[in-house]
Structure 1
Amino acid sequence: MGGDLGPRSVVPACVRALEKFPSLELTLFGDPAEISAELHSSHHARLTLVECESHVTQEDAPAFALRHKRDSSMGCALQALADGRVDGMVSGGNTGALMALSCHFVGKVNGVRRPAIGKSLPTETGSCFLLDLGANIGVCAEDLLQFARMGVEAQKLYTDQRPLKVALLNIGSEAHKGTEEIRRAAELFREAPDIEYYGFIEGHDLFTGCVDVVVCDGMLGNIAMKSAEGVIRLMGQKVFRFDQKNAFKSFFGQMAIKLLRKWRSQLEPARYNGASFLGLSGNVIKSHGGASSAAFFQAIVTAVHCAEADLAGRVDRALS
């Protein structure tokens, strides 16, 4: 029951998910007393509680969690996924520990060297799938090509367009820019018969809809995503002050506020919460640690869609 808000965020999201999906069954791993306290008088036959003695904290290093926290709520949930008792797992806990424990319990798809974190982002024309979002900092060109193939399979859940255009996120669109590995990756992308390579794109191209899949290393992807989320939050929090004596300014100011609120509702990060750990043999979904109940609900929705589409199996078949 990880995340900054714990059961306060997770439990109401689960209740809402059970109402939305009549065939959904949920298993919550953690402290039954804390979970039950948030359920209040609600009772759901499709919700099961599993008591766990420990939990992974945000301060736990991945190696420490792997050695000492295998019996944590996170570890027990992943074991259930590995055993086939559940079809997907959602966590708002420590990302590094989640990746380490996922690789231990669930395992990687054959041939995958590094699993990647990715999610679908809104664009002007639909969506694009961005990966990696933080699982890998130092990657080689072959890793980026593997990320591209996994990203294509994931983006197929969000669009019927074919073929899907793939780009590499870089500091410039010119062929000579970027690190040696990203330039070498561009060569591999061009030579790969199963990749519709678009070329390099820059950060401001992420939301234009010019491509369907954007590939980068974890540091660049994480910074790009969180920077965009920060700008969106700034839009929502911006306070306009108008001269009430000036009817012209007041009228158009109110129009601007309404438009801004509409944009914010469409781009609110909570609506797109839930990133997939691609390259694992099971469907593992990472929620923002500070996710609200509404945001955690979206992570559950992502897990349901990934499980129904057998995303982990599709990635396995694509890479094999």
Structure 2
Amino acid sequence: MPSQLRLAVDAMGGDLGPRSVVPACARFLQRFPPAELQLYGPPTKLRPLMGAYAPELTRRLRLVHCEQVVTQHCSPVQALRRGRESSMAEALRAVGSGEADAMVTSGNTGALLALSRNILGTLDGIRRPALGKSVPSQNGSCFLLDLGANIDCSAEDLQNFARMGIEAQRAHTGQQQLRVALLNIGAEAGKGPGEIRRAGELLEADPQINYAGFVEGHDIFTGDVDVVVCDGLMGNVAIKAAEGVIRLIGHKPFTLEATGPVKRFFGQLAINLLRKWRTNVEPSRYNGASFLGVKGNVVKSHGGASSEAFYRAMITAKECAEANLADRLVSAMVRARD
């Protein structure tokens, strides 16, 4: 755990860019007085936004001049060829050099994956890094990965995702005995694509993994398993579908149609409980996914993140740094080879 937290923040990623990032940084510094932030982007765009905050906050917010920006439409190849001096790349270099304990960005996922692999490198034995995060479940949380970094995954990739997901969930919850499942179109052993079935065989034979079999999308949130593994397409669809349902509930007004004082009393009580539940599972509260498998703590925020959501991603980066997650993953992969 770092004695003084230092985060590198890419100010130019996502749909809102500095408009969401700078207020989130100010809020983060206010809540965590020992922390220091390095903010990467064009000073001409950042300084006017910083002027709204007290000097004692901005003294712990160091601007790093970067005019080059990786856009949301930039391909991984373009990011490697033309984005090597971008705010995203420089924030990654700060992690690689040890100047920062973690970095966070709302930028392009494909570009972030390409630049992370190029600048930081991957852990021994990891062919493909994965995006993962803890999502709320009935009994606490479940770690879901991959959330969109890899579409075509081999059985061996999925096995490595499971190993990394276990260590990430241990860091998040402190629990050691975790149940691991593969996301599939059914719980029956014979269902699903060949690589998923083969991954099931690998996990079943792995003595370091408590494998619980196949699960379906709704099982992610029941609390029956602690880590759910899938390829990036399935994971991205699953998490965004869940977020969409929660937002739909959030946009639907709660109304009372019951008549009579008793029915209206219990109806209002139910509405208050639903509103509380809706607040607790609001997707912005769980923003921020970790790039597992690169040599450093890298956190990806949602591209459309509001200031509140980006702040939550910074909290995720803080937790990764304090848990020494990247180093723990190195140890986990060494144990897997032994």
Q: Tell whether 2:43 aligns with 1:32.
A: yes
Structure 1 segments of 4+ aligned residues over 2 angstroms from their partners: 40-44, 240-257
How far apart in 1 are the matches of 2:330 and 2:165? Answer: 12
Q: 1:244 to 1:153 in 2, by over 3 A?
A: closer
Q: Tell whether 2:6 aligns with 1:6.
A: no
User: In structure 2, the residue corresponding to 1:158 is in which secondary structure?
Assistant: helix
Deviation of 1:25 (Å): 0.8
Q: Tell whether 2:132 aligns with 1:118.
A: yes
Q: TM-score, normalised by structure 2?
A: 0.91
* Alignment deviations for residues 188-236 of structure 1 (CA, whole Å, 9 cap, x no partner): 1011010000111111111111011000000000000000000111111
Does the Cα contact within 8 Å between 2:258 and 2:267 map onto a contact in 1? no
Q: Partner letter of residue 234 of structure 1?
A: L
User: In structure 1, the residue corresponding to 2:171 is in which secondary structure?
Assistant: coil
User: In structure 1, the residue corresponding to 2:191 is in which secondary structure?
Assistant: coil
How far apart in 2 are the matches of 1:242 and 1:299? Answer: 36
Unaligned runs of 5+ in 1: none
- 1:83 is matched with 97
2:272 pairs with 258, 261, 264, which one?
258
Unaligned runs of 5+ in 2: 1-11
Q: Partner letter of residue 303 of structure 1?
A: A
Does the Cα contact within 8 Å between 1:106 and 1:280 map onto a contact in 2? yes
Does the Cα contact within 8 Å between 1:276 and 1:286 map onto a contact in 2? yes
- 2:315 is matched with 301
Stretch of structure 1 that moved more, 8-17 or 277-286: 8-17
- 2:30 is matched with 19
How far apart in 1 are the matches of 2:257 and 2:282? Answer: 29
Does the Cα contact within 8 Å between 1:131 and 1:147 map onto a contact in 2? yes
Deviation of 1:159 (Å): 1.6
- 2:183 is matched with 169
Deviation of 1:244 (Å): 7.8
- 2:167 is matched with 153
Q: Partner letter of residue 189 of structure 1?
A: L
How far apart in 2 are the matches of 1:250 and 1:113? Answer: 58
How far apart in 1 are the matches of 2:222 and 2:260? Answer: 36
Q: How many residues align?
A: 320
How far apart in 1 are the matches of 2:245 and 2:228? Answer: 20
Does the Cα contact within 8 Å between 1:240 and 1:253 map onto a contact in 2? no
How far apart in 2 are the matches of 1:243 and 1:111? Answer: 59
Q: Partner letter of residue 175 of structure 1?
A: A
How far apart in 2 are the matches of 1:123 and 1:245? Answer: 35
Q: Partner letter of residue 302 of structure 1?
A: T
- 1:60 is matched with 74
Q: Tell whether 2:212 aligns with 1:212.
A: no
1:273-292 equivalences in 2 (<5 Å) = 273-292=287-306
Q: Partner letter of residue 198 of structure 2?
A: R
User: In structure 2, the residue corresponding to 1:157 is in which secondary structure?
Assistant: helix
